[in-house]
Structure 1
Amino acid sequence: MIEIQNVSTSFDSPSGRFTAVDDVSLHIKRGTIQGIIGFSGAGKSTLLRNINLLERPTSGRILVDGVDLLTLSDAELRTKRHDIGMIFQHFNLLNNLTAQENVELSLKFAGVGKAERRRRAAETLEIVDLGDKAGAYPAKLSGGQKQRVAIARALATEPKVLLCDEPTSAVDPRTTASVLQYLADVNAKFGITIVVVTHEMNVIKAIADNVAVMEEGRVVEQFDLSELQRPGFHPATQSGRYLISDEIQLDRSAHAKAVSEGLLNV
């Protein structure tokens, strides 16, 4: 469904040329949920934005449903992006528009007529159980409700692919489970291929079929989530091992030494 082939993305910076994505290749199967995880600065969000060319790669190929996006004209790319929905970390809702109008906006950009826009916006708000909030403005919605409006907006164009950039980092832990459940339901009901970028391994454990671990712009490891249940399985990389751990581990030796020497009061 999605083929990322030898993709690199570089930017000019005051300190010189910076490579955010470094020769990444990744195959994402149709109808699956692919997790991409890594620490801050690993390049995961840039790679996600490469998939719909919000960030154009410096080199490589991006194929979605067999179409190489880098070969398309601007007009062809705009049309193809209707097949690729995107959910952002901070919702990206317009405060002066109602939930219904925010959802309709993506359809308006796609050239959909007014009556059809209203029908599809109402339909997708029902999918995320927000039909009763259609007339509410973002200021009157909780963080979870805002993210569900964003999911409805992404679904309104009937995409084949849904890209999620840190979709739960702006909501509380209880709301995280709700947002992930809606994404899982959308995947199961409509067969939409979902790519989730996050630094939270618990999110990946809850929803993904496969995880790619990124470090310094490269995919350093990839495995099916079912492997976590296999006795004796351990990620091959230090990043992978750290990310699957549920515990925060600190080196307390320096602190203990400072306390024993009277340098710190506790």
Structure 2
Amino acid sequence: MMVSVKDILVAAAVCVFTLISHSEGIIGGREAAPHSRPYMASIQVQQEEVRKHECGGFLVADQWVMTAVHCLPTGPSGRKVVLGLHSLSEPEETQQVFDILELHNHPDFNSVNYDNDIALIKLDHPVNITEAVRTLEFLRSGGTNPGTDEEVETAGWGSTDNLGSRPDKLKELVVEVVSSQRCRRSDYFGSRFTSNMICAHKICDNPCDKPQKKEDTCDGDSGGPLLYNGVAVGIVSNGGIKCGQFRKPGIYTIISHYTQWIDSIMGQQPTAQPASL
């Protein structure tokens, strides 16, 4: 059977399109049902007349939001925390906006490999618990973290592609845990990957010869939760230089490794890092 040059070009175009479409912020995923994840927080910075989403977070107590250190490397700097939102642009009566009273970055955070990428934000006042604003349970020491190939889920308003396109509405995604041994391989993350991390992604179906793209978290999803059986077990931290790369799964901070530190912060009164910094 003769195959024309045109047929080859069409097949190649379909293959390329499939790869591109599968790398779409969360990369892939779907829009979440409005307010179905009432613990989600958007950390926003004021730009002229509007606030812009920078990072995610999640409500763990009536005045505390958990996020990633790298989301606020220079301190609060006037940023706001918004709860009860689904759309970033539409006015929603469910939204509650807070100033940051205290920011507690883990003292052992490593900016080179993002080890210990966990932070706690104390809001300037307690939240009003509603159907759209609720706390999320997080795994404590002694709890069971997900094993290799187990499904976990995450959500965020992060980029939908490597060009920085952002969704207006919250997206959610189911991914699968990748073995720690694989993520420590030199062709994955090597020594950057530590025992405080989980890596996960989801390989998409692909009509091309080999799967090269996957569903993944991306820029702007950082600080959001990784859930296993409805409990937060990780914090969206980092991954490859580009999102959706085959050998660069998303990396998540293991929350249960920090129970003592979390309790020491949320139970204390002195401010470790004033909002004025």
Query: Which category of TM-score, normalised to the shorter sequence, fits these structures?
Result: under 0.3
Which structure would you say has the larger Rg?
1
Report the TM-score when normalising by structure 2: 0.26
Q: Which has the larger helix fraction?
A: 1
Name whichever structure is richer in strand by fraction: 2
